[in-house]
């Protein structure tokens, strides 16, 4: 059988394995478990066209419900976390999730009767639940704010309260560049990396222990790594995504590296 047909067949088989699933949501009013069927029956569900989907890298169509519908009692300054089947833990400020204009957050629901394609050959789909955005450029919403294979959403106290060891020097003003860098770190990096031994992610290395990459990457190479990791180091299993200037403008990249440098001096705190 030609290889292309084999690949097609195996991806069809994989896709056919999509089954109804459960999503647990705990946003402070007691945990609630939603089944795929219940979600698909919500009156707010509609068919959504997502242009240049972040995970599939092409236009996609989903059955989806405005995320806000699933977050009763959540306010804009709350902090949420979306945990995926593989341990990826996206930290999400509630504000953008509650937005009804542009950008708007949606929970895409994989209907077992119409399974989504695999994310790559031999891989599962983005289901059973996937956070997608319409008009993400209006945020901007970073790729780390599109968690897929989500199984749990919960309200937590802020990152600074949960992980004091990654907080910059408290003497700095809230709008100090280092604190701005800390906010960018939470939005873009914390889903995969720990820092000073703290964080929920299990995916990438700790970015300050035993050393900070600001200490062992020669000048310029750290920024280059963040922009395009595999332009610096290549191997087939490399998993870190690159951050383009569209997602992380040069000024933000400077702020982020400024935060990492600052934290290299706060390792003992």
Nearer to ligand HEC, 139 or 229 (CB): 229
**CA 266 – CA 69 distance, rounded (Å):** 41
Among 191, 195, 255, 263, binds ligand HEC (CB under 6 A): 191
**CA 25 – CA 97 distance, rounded (Å):** 14
Among 205, 221, 231, 245, binds ligand HEC (CB under 6 A): 205
- Compose the 121-150 pattern: x for residues touching ligand HEC by CB under 6 A, - for all others: -----------------------x------
- CA distances from residue 141 to 134, 136, 172, 188 in whole angstroms, order as listed: 10, 5, 27, 10
- Give the closest residue to 190 by CA, choosing from 98, 100, 79: 79
Does 240 interact with ligand HEC (rule: CB under 6 A)?
Answer: yes
Among 79, 193, 194, 262, binds ligand HEC (CB under 6 A): 193
- Give the closest residue to 220 by CA, choosing from 191, 257, 245: 257
Contact 180, 255 (CB under 8 A): yes
Does 241 interact with ligand HEC (rule: CB under 6 A)?
Answer: yes
- CA distances from residue 16 to 23, 67, 128, 224 in whole angstroms, order as listed: 20, 26, 13, 40
Burial class (CB in 10 A: 0-12, 13-18, 19+), 128: buried
Contact region with ligand HEC (CB under 6 A), list: 17-25, 36-44, 115-123, 197-205: 197-205
Nearer to ligand HEC, 134 or 145 (CB): 145
Among 204, 209, 264, 267, binds ligand HEC (CB under 6 A): 204
> 94: number of CA atoms within 13 Å, CB side?
20
Among 6, 8, 76, 238, binds ligand HEC (CB under 6 A): 238
- CA distances from residue 251 to 19, 112, 136 in whole angstroms, order as listed: 44, 44, 20
CB atoms within 10 A of CB 10: 13
- Compose the 170-189 pattern: x for residues touching ligand HEC by CB under 6 A, - for all others: ------------------xx
- Compose the 213-232 pattern: x for residues touching ligand HEC by CB under 6 A, - for all others: x-----------xx--x---
Size of the site for ligand HEC (CB under 6 A): 20
Binding site for ligand HEC (CB under 6 A): 144, 188-189, 191-193, 203-205, 207, 213, 225-226, 229, 238-241, 243, 256
């Amino acid at each position: 059988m030609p290889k292309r047909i084999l690949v097609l067949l195996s991806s069809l088989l994989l896709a056919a394995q999509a089954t109804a699933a459960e999503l647990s949501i705990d946003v402070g009013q007691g945990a609630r478990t939603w089944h795929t069927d219940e979600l698909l029956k919500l009156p707010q569900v509609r068919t959504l066209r997502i242009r240049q989907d972040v995970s599939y890298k092409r236009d996609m169509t989903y059955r989806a419900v405005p995320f806000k519908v699933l977050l009763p009692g959540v306010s804009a300054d709350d902090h949420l976390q979306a945990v995926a089947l593989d341990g990826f833990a996206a930290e999400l400020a509630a504000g953008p999730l509650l937005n009804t204009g542009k950008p708007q957050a949606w929970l895409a629901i994989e209907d077992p009767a119409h399974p989504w394609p695999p994310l790559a050959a031999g891989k599962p789909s983005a289901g059973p639940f996937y956070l997608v955005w319409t008009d993400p450029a209006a945020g901007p919403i970073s790729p780390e704010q599109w968690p897929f294979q989500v199984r749990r959403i919960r309200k937590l106290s802020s990152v600074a309260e949960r992980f004091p060891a990654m907080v910059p020097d408290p003497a700095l003003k809230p709008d100090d560049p280092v604190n701005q860098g800390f906010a960018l770190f939470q939005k873009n990096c914390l889903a995969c990396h720990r820092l000073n031994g703290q964080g929920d992610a299990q995916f990438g290395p700790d970015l300050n222990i035993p050393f900070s990459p600001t200490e062992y990457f020669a000048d310029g190479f750290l920024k280059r790594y963040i922009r395009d990791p595999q332009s610096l180091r290549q191997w087939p299993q490399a998993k870190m995504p690159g951050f383009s200037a569209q997602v992380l403008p040069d000024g933000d990249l400077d702020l982020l590296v400024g935060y990492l440098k600052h934290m290299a001096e706060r390792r003992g705190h």
